[in-house]
Amino acid sequence: MDKELDWKNLSFGYMPTDYNVRCYFRDGKWGEVEVSQSEELNLHIAATCLHYGQEIFEGLKAFRGKDGKIRVFRLEENARRIRESAKGILMEPLPEEKFKEMVMKVVKLNERFVPPYGSGASLYIRPLEIGISAQVGVKPASEYLFLILVTPVGPYFKTGFRPTNICIMRQYDRVAPNGTGLWKVGGNYAASLTAGEHAHELGYSAVLYLDPKEKKYLDECGPANFIAIKNGTYITPASQSILPSITNKSLMQLAEDMGITVERRHITVDELEEIDEAAAVGTAAVASPVGEIDDLDTGKKYVVSKNGEPGPVVTRLYETLRGIQLGEIEDRHGWCTIVE
């Protein structure tokens, strides 16, 4: 970093930093954490990650708080979730303590890339595990690489916290019933690219997928969970096909703290007529307010935001979670890990 970055105008993309950290699983055990300055990997051409999709990842963030301290948000939950992803596609799960060691080390090593408080930017942390054994038979690898890279990213909302429009397109499924939807595997995101690009071409920010079996219930909203407020109740889809969002889990807890009833249940498409607020929730945006949901197959338009503004409950939840991440609001649940 030869010159001071323009922190307030960072994009939400990749920027080189000083270090990444790596750990190998070989001979039945995890090795020591290694520090690297290389942005490259030396992979065998027959590695299982390249041929059979043995690849999982996570996304979390570090923030420089109002008090100048660096906070990593919900580190333990990400450690647990990537272990579940590993088990789901028969990869070797990284111990939670090793995950924490690697996250803390890579953030500390790249401390100068953690954006300043007030910039709206953060340090994005991307853990990744891949199968590296050289084999052409369809079976799990015996060797794995776990690495973590970091990059400073700008705020998700470049134009402010404003509602956007999303759409329903029944010709696309993100995952299969009883498939890999519960785990954060790269293949799920590859499967969503065509639908996502189609939606963007039509002027929508995301696709609201329906359940892949009956096409009757709401599922995920692109790479994010879907939430809605209905008659003062926080509702979110119950599905075995969607990733259990750590952001959604956090917002549900905050809603309960506020005295809001929380329901995780099946939500039919028709029920969209009765909701008062909606948002797509995830690490990148926290909560992206929804203005309108257009069902492109039926022509039905569900107007969520009548005045073009985010709803009061979604706004309060968003601001509370952001406040906790930035050290502005008391972290009652111990979600933030301070980088010493």
pLDDT in tens, 158-170: 778 999 999 999 9
Three-state DSSP class for residue 21: strand
Q: For residue 52, give every residue at least 6 positions away whose Cβ sits within 8 Å of its Cβ, in sequence order, or none.
A: 131, 138
Task: Give me the average pLDDT of each 10-residue run along the chain (340 residues).
Answer: 79 94 98 98 98 98 97 98 98 98 98 96 98 96 98 86 96 93 96 96 97 95 94 96 96 98 98 98 95 97 96 98 98 97
8-state DSSP, 105? H
> What single DSSP character describes residue 229?
E
Span 12-42, pLDDT tens digits: 899 999 999 999 999 999 999 999 999 999 9
Residue 258 amino acid letter: M
- For residues 339 and 215, what is the distance between their CA atoms, to the nearest angstrom? 45
Confirm whether 300 is a catalytic residue. no
- Catalytic residue chosen out of the listed positions 87, 184, 216, 300: 184
Q: What is d(CA 190, CA 170) in angstroms, rounded to the nearest whole number?
A: 18
As a whole number of angstroms, the distance between CA 63 and CA 291 comes to 28
What was the pLDDT predicted at 3?
A: 61
Describe the crossing of helices 75-88 and 246-257 by its angle, rounded to 10 degrees.
Answer: 140
